[in-house]
Amino acid sequence: SVDQLQIVQTDRGEYVCVKKIEGGRPTIEILREELPKLISSISFPKTMRWDGMRFARPIRWIVALLGEDLIDFAFGNLRPSRYTRGHRSLSEGPVRLEGASLDAYKEALRSARVIVDHRERENLIREQVTELLRREGCSTEIDEELLEEVNFLVEYPQPVVGEFSKSHLILPEEVLITAMERDQRYFPFKRPDGGLLPKFIAISNGTVDGYENVKRGNERVLSARLDDAEFFWREDQKTPLADKVELLKGVVFHERLGSLYDKVERLKSLALYIAGEIGLEEEELEMAVRAAELCKADLVTQMVWEFPELQGIMGGYYARNSGEPEEVAVAIREHYKPYSSEDSLPSTTLGAVVSIADKIDTIVGHFGVGEAPTGSQDPHGLRRSAIGVIRILRGMRLSLELGGLISYASSLYGELVEEGTPEAVMRFFRDRLFNMFVDEGFEHDVVEAVLAGGFDLVHTLEERMRVVSRFKSSESFDKIYPSFNRTFRIIPKGWEDSRVEEELLREPAEKRLYEELLRVEPEALMLCDKERFEEALWKMAELKEPIDTFFDEVLVMAEEEELRRNRLALLKRMTNMFCRIADFSKLVIPGDERR
């Protein structure tokens, strides 16, 4: 009622409030209501339905205890009890729990051959596997993703060492490892100096059927897989890799963008363009085009059909065995790299050329047909591809203009892609770059300023940001920045004219500024071309005094149109030079109210 309202004084002023007293309830009563909701709220990508309930798998029993008390509630046709169960084959009957002690629960299930703590299970598997590898003198490095997967497949891990025929060692190591790790979840025996032993480690969920039976069963399964792989290996090499390129005409890349053969034709042009732009020699140009021509041919081989994750890798083997140059084989093998933000880059320049070509073609094509990533949705992995291109350009320091590359890639699609595609792709790359450099610790405004200055040459961005960051924290910044900033801010948005007509320079201050610009500009641009951005910045800073005088004595927005255009063109030419480092107007300065 109104009589219950009160006025209280807070740091933010007076507020009208009401006091409501809510009595407590026993915890066990609340849990009876909340636990069914909690169980129902657990989500899974795929669920099963039974007795009107949904869960990853049918729930057979529930234990719910608070201290020594049983929490009684209904979940479908089930009600909680004190009894749980251990290993379905190695334990004997239900396990009674007297209280809600985690330690007692873990020990009770351990006696029933279930290791509850997944971290304990993982450490146990790691110890078991590394000890067996060590005994054979093999590398004890373990695939962590495989370890995690195996860990959650077993309750009571027991290692089983199996063998396969030495004849299968003719297969590439990647084929053997893929068959063991991906298909069977086995740990291979890898020699420290390379190569494999014809053995594997399977992690059994206990060995209720006997060690030898489990061993033989796993050996039979793997043997069948490797027999198939050996058949594919021999069949695929009955014809050279180059003969398979024609078959790509029957493989769709995208229903609106043509076949994989069409993509390969574009990749050949892109590889030639990229190789030329970064200054490769004639022989390397030819090998880049050849690698681009063959890089997708393994997609029609039986081996890659069976083991899709080996695309590129098998192409490298088949190219080498077909007599292609080693450089071409390596480029084919590496052209999907980097697979992720953590993966290594291509080890060769040719591999980088084909990788960039492939990724750019895919990005431009999907953007061109309106399939850009939206929110968290990126079914074609375009963000990953863009980050891969950026990492290659940065890591291998390739002087390749991104804008020109994207425009050329778009032109190869002709009318298949929408108008404005290059601009959309450039914005996409700009966003990736912004996020990447912010994540690396650069201030938001510094990243914004450098990218606004231009990000065509990706490999220069990091150094430019470091230079701007040092400049921003230097003692000279407060003196120089206002001059740079004023130059940017007076130019109307969208103004591009930088053509200065010397005869229209009437005032002494504008003549002097132009003379000083002509003196500073060649050396500053030369220093930028040599990526000596720190020196270039301080050379540009020599314009501070003539810039200040210019603004004090010259009316930029003169009534006479020719004078106004010429003065804005003078300033635009100067900001074009500044933008080789950054658009300094984007820097955020405390107390700068004009922002």
Residue 10 three-state SS:
strand
pLDDT at residue 9 in the model = 87
Chain centroid to CA 356: 15
CB 482 within 8 A of CB 459: no
Instruction: Indicate if the pLDDT at residue 593 is higher than 60.
Output: no
Instruction: Indicate if the pLDDT at residue 208 is higher than 70.
Output: no
Q: Distance between CA atoms of 330 and 21, rounded to whole angstroms? A: 74
CB 392 within 8 A of CB 355: yes
CB 474 within 8 A of CB 538: no
**Residue holding tokens 């146990």?**
124
Instruction: Indicate if the pLDDT at residue 595 is higher than 50.
Output: no
The enclosing H or E element of 70 equals strand 69-70
Q: Encode pLDDT of 394-406 as tens digits.
A: 999 999 999 999 9
Tokens of 217: 């069963």
pLDDT at residue 375 in the model = 82
- Band (pLDDT 50/70/90 cuts) for residue 293 is very high
Rg (CA), the chain: 34
Q: Encode pLDDT of 488-512 as tens digits.
A: 999 999 999 999 999 999 999 999 9
Question: pLDDT over 70 for what percent of the chain?
Answer: 99
| N-to-C CA span, the chain | 50
Instruction: Indicate if the pLDDT at residue 414 is higher than 70.
Output: yes
Within 454-507, where are the H helices? 461-472, 477-489
The enclosing H or E element of 254 equals strand 252-254
Q: Distance between CA atoms of 137 and 433, rounded to whole angstroms? A: 45
Give me the mean pLDDT over the 477-493 stretch: 93
Tokens of 417: 């892609």
pLDDT at residue 365 in the model = 97
pLDDT at residue 207 in the model = 72
Peptide bond into 36 cis (omega under 30): no
pLDDT at residue 463 in the model = 97
Can you list the domains of the chain with their CATH numbers?
Answer: 27-81 (no CATH), 118-223 (no CATH), 241-440 (1.10.3210), 475-586 (1.10.730.10)
pLDDT at residue 594 in the model = 46
- Exposure b/e, 297-331, CB count within 10 A at least 16 = b: bbbbbbbbebbeebbbbbbbbbbbebebbebbbbb
Give me the mean pLDDT over the 194-199 stretch: 94
Chain centroid to CA 499: 43
Q: Encode pLDDT of 13-34 as tens digits.
A: 889 988 888 888 999 999 999 9
pLDDT at residue 592 in the model = 57
